[in-house]
């Protein structure tokens, strides 16, 4: 997933997607342990996607905090 795609999503959508991806990573880890996962790079990609989504959420949080300080 590209960063611009994540930035287009709403905050609620991102939070929902993070939960889905975290469940997905648990399944991928389980498959990897059972030697059923053929493409192990999926684990890395899912982790990176989660990190990107969390980064965008943190950016929005900081931006809102900065905006609230300016209004005061």
Q: What is the largest CA-CA distance in the chain?
A: 57
DSSP single-letter state for residue 72: -
Evaluate whether 57 touches 14 at the Cβ level (below 8 Å): yes
In the predicted structure, residue 71 carries a pLDDT above the cut 90: no
Region 37-44 average pLDDT: 94
Evaluate whether 6 touches 21 at the Cβ level (below 8 Å): no
- The predicted pLDDT at position 65 comes to 93
- The predicted pLDDT at position 31 comes to 95
Cα gap 69→51, rounded to integer Å = 27
Structure confidence at residue 1 as a pLDDT band (50, 70, 90): confident
* pTM reported for the whole predicted model: 0.90
Structure confidence at residue 7 as a pLDDT band (50, 70, 90): very high
Structural domains in the chain plus CATH codes: 3-71 (1.10.287.310)
């Amino acid at each position: 997933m590209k960063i611009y795609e994540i930035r287009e999503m709403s905050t609620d959508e991102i939070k929902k997607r993070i939960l889905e991806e975290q469940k997905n990573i648990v399944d991928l880890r389980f498959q990897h342990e059972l030697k059923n996962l053929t493409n192990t790079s999926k684990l890395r990609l899912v982790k990176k996607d989660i990190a990107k989504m969390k980064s965008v959420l943190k950016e929005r949080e900081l931006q809102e905090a900065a905006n609230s300080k300016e209004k005061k």
